[in-house]
Amino acid sequence: MESKLCLKENPTLSDIQKYVKQMKEERGFNTTDKVYECMLLGEEVGELFAAVRKNMKGGSVGSGSNVGNVELELADVLIYICSLANMHNLDLETAFRKKEEINQQRVWKRL
- pLDDT over 80 (residue 44): yes
**Full-model pTM:** 0.85
Give which of 81, 76, 101 is closest to 91, Cα–Cα.
81
The class of domain 13-101 in CATH terms is: mainly alpha
Q: What is the pLDDT of residue 46?
A: 96
Which tens digit of pLDDT belongs to each residue from 46-104? 999 999 988 886 656 555 555 679 999 999 999 999 999 999 999 999 999 999 999 99
Q: What is the pLDDT of residue 106?
A: 92
The set of residues, in sequence order, having a beta carbon less than 8 Å from that of 44 and lying 6+ positions away, is 73, 76, 77, 80
Q: How far is CA 65 from the centre of its chain?
A: 23
Delimit the domains of the chain by residue range.
13-101
Upper half-sphere CA count for residue 7 (Cβ side, 13 Å): 14
